[in-house]
Amino acid sequence: MNKNRIRQTKNVLINNKLRIAITNQCNLSCSYCHNEGQSLFEPSRFLSLDYIKTMVKWFIAHDVFIERLSITGGEPLLHPDVIKIIHELKKVTEKLLINTNGLLLTKELLDMFLEQNISLKIGVDSIVSEQTKPSVCAIPKSVDRLISVIKYAVSNGNEIIFNAVFSEFNCKNIDVLIEWAIKENVRGVKVIKQNDFDSRRLGNKDNIADKHKTNQIERDLFFDLREKYISRSWSYSNYPYRGKIIVFLRQDDGTDFEISFYDDVCSAGACANTYTTIDSCGNLMVCPKYQITTPVDFRKDFETVTTFIMNAKDRMCDSSKNRFDLKNNNSIIGQMSLKQPLKKQ
């Protein structure tokens, strides 16, 4: 979409980005999973194709700009209408991304995604353990199968990014995953420090059980890992108001391999600074931590729907406001949001 066309469209969404959880179901059950703020204990839900079609018509009718649209879940590839949903959503954005654990990917799907110019963000925490993620649902040979799929995808030309949650499961060997991704020409890796909130209701929302918290050793290892790759990079970007730092490793072909390090996105208020989210019930997600949602009906007029979205923004927690203030003030940290070369000591 050219710049003139963008100027004529309406900016309604947070950062003009939309995230849609088309199902709450997953073929894994990872210990740290917050399921995009959706309940882990409710019956299977699948966002209907009719809802998607109605939403798409609303975006088109009101000329709403969507810079990037992410399809997620649960595991979105479990949705029986996922291909039809993809075709619908392609009508309203040029950048469509699917968040998946990769275990249901096939060569046929990868070929179709390449043809449709769809990127993939694959959640994988380890390639040296028996499983790719710390799931209580054991899937035999899941690592071997995922490695095979990723190698095919890269050779096929698919754009692949890894999502790796930094936890007790992989905190001592996650660099093996990163180095393998570099070697296999994956585009980049996002390393996300485990959120310490009780989405699985093992304790309560304010006092999560200690065994499910990120301990001090893991925190130290996370920051050690980040410093290790910062020292190797030629440049970095710091986004304190989104709780992330991106380091750039220059490859032999002149391209950059990107490693993003996300601190606890909840305490960073990143939800308010990243994208608008719709869950598998067709609700706007306000807060994943406390599972706060508000219904949105795309059969309504432009003003009504826009008001719902604005209300969702206004209900976000104070940490988001603090980050926005940090971004906009004249402090040194607030000025570090642009890519800049590392200063060698």
Backbone angles phi, psi at 203, to 5 degrees: -130, -105
Is the confidence at residue 96, as pLDDT, over 90? Answer: yes
Q: Where on the phi/psi map is residue 36: left (φ > 0), alpha (ψ -120 to 50), or beta?
A: left
Question: Among 14, 62, 41, 95, which Cα is nearest to 312's?
Answer: 14
* Each residue's pLDDT tens digit, 152-178: 999 999 999 999 999 889 999 999 999
In sign, the C-alpha dihedral spanning 139, 208, 200, 219 is negative
The tens digit of pLDDT for each residue in 243-284 reads: 789 999 999 888 999 999 998 766 666 666 678 899 999 998
Q: Where are the domains of the chain?
A: 3-341
Output the pLDDT for position 342: 43
**Calpha distance 159→108 (Å, rounded):** 15
The predicted model gives 64-80 an average pLDDT of 95
pLDDT for 105: 96
pLDDT of residue 336: 35
Most confident of 28-32, 77-81, 164-168: 77-81
Least confident of 25-29, 185-189, 213-217: 213-217
Integer distance in angstroms from the first to the last C-alpha of the chain? 43
128: amino acid identity, one letter: V
pLDDT at position 82 over 90: yes
- Most confident segment among 4-8, 45-49, 194-198: 45-49
Helices vs strands, H then E, count in the chain: 10, 13
Rounded Cα distance, 151 and 147, in Å? 6
pLDDT over 80 at 9, yes or no? no
Superfamily of domain 3-341: Aldolase class I (3.20.20.70)
Q: Work out the mean pLDDT of the chain and round it to a whole number.
A: 83
Please say if the pLDDT value at position 332 is more than 80. Answer: no
What are 212-239's pLDDT values in tens digits?
A: 566 778 888 999 999 999 999 999 999 8
By CB neighbour count within 10 A (0-12 exposed, 13-18 middle, 19+ buried), where does 7 fall?
A: exposed
Q: In which band, very low, low, confident or very high, does the pLDDT at 206 lie, cut at 50, 70 and 90?
A: low
Which pLDDT score, from 0 to 100, does residue 345 have? 30
Give 115-138 pLDDT, tens digit per residue: 999 999 999 999 999 899 998 887
What percent of the chain has pLDDT above 90? Answer: 55
Residue 343 is predicted with a pLDDT of 38
∠ Cα 264 269 274 (to 5°): 100
Task: Provide the whole-model pTM.
Answer: 0.85
Q: What is the structure's pLDDT at 324? A: 47
Query: What are phi and psi for residue 79, nearest 5 degrees?
Result: -70, 125
Q: Which two tokens stand for residue 200?
A: 């699985």
Q: How far apart are CA 182 and CA 176, in angstroms?
A: 10
The residue-averaged pLDDT of 58-72 equals 94
Tell me, what's the pLDDT at 317? 62
Looking at residue 228, what is its pLDDT? 96
Q: How confident is the model at residue 210 (pLDDT cuts 50, 70, 90)?
A: low
pLDDT tens-digit map of 279-309: 999 998 887 777 778 888 999 999 999 888 8
Mean local confidence (pLDDT), 28-35: 84
